[in-house]
Amino acid sequence: MTTILDGKKIANEIQSEIAKEVEEIKQDGKKIPHLAAILVGDNGASQTYVNNKIKACKKVGFEYTLLQYPESIREEKLLANVDRINEDEDIDGLIVQLPLPDHISGVKVTEHISSAKDVDGFTNVNYGRITSKKPGLMPATPFGIQELLNRYEIDIKGKHCVIVGNSRNVGAPMSTIMSYHENATVTVCHIHTQDLALFTRQADILIVATGQPGLITADMVKEGVVVVDVGITRIPADNPRGYMLKGDVEFETVKFKASYITPVPGGVGPMTIASLLLNTLKATRARH
């Protein structure tokens, strides 16, 4: 029987744990975690993501600051605003919602964030520290996936984990976490891998993060596989919103072969936000 990896449920549990700790922090008169978010432009999806992060901050009792700038903002001005937040002793964590407009370098802006406040875990410093036994602020989505698997007590050690997608934000750090911290045997594939199904059929744990809806079908997985679908793409649909959300895995057919599988939405997404909160709490502890 297939078990749904309910990221929303686990994220709520984590948020309850954080809220309890924040209440204790308040009672002790200590520093309350403060997260700042920068949103550039009026991209609907980005606004939704940022709003969800702000709601999560409210739920756990964090202080928060939302800074919104027009799409026309110059790169130099945006970097100056990042510097200002880096220097603000009251702010413990900073996220800059991606993607940014074409005239602004996302890499440059990300690297401008202080590694001590980089709760997305995107800077080179935090990325590099994944290979440490005492890592810094972990990349949020891979950290969330690790937490989800561990909280469902899924046996990872020695298992063959196949990751489809080698992005710097998900696939690459995920491979390090699974091999170095969880002692899995890891294979990394991507959309250019020849005969992709040859590899995905070998997976005990399959993590897919390509942004290609429906890439993984039932004939590409073996019985009993654990499936984590990171993909979430808006596709046109005949409903009031005009779109539906679809993952990289054909959920309705793959679920009959999987032992565990994440839904889209409600799987990895909520865990990413929970990870941001955990990182913010960790950053606050380290700075105060």
Residues marked as catalytic: 53, 97, 120
HEC sequence for 48-85: HHHHHHHHHHHHHCCEEEEEEECCCCCHHHHHHHHHHH
Query: What 3-state DSSP class applies to 162?
Result: strand
DSSP run (H or E) holding 38:
strand 34-40
Neighbour tally for 16: CB within 10 Å: 12
**Cα separation of 227 and 206, whole Å?**
5
Q: Is 34 left (phi over 0), alpha (psi -120 to 50) or beta?
A: beta
Q: E strand or H helix at 109, and its extent?
A: helix 106-112
Give the integer Cα–Cα distance in Å for 50 and 208: 23
Asked if 131 and 262 touch (Cβ cutoff 8 Å), the reply is no
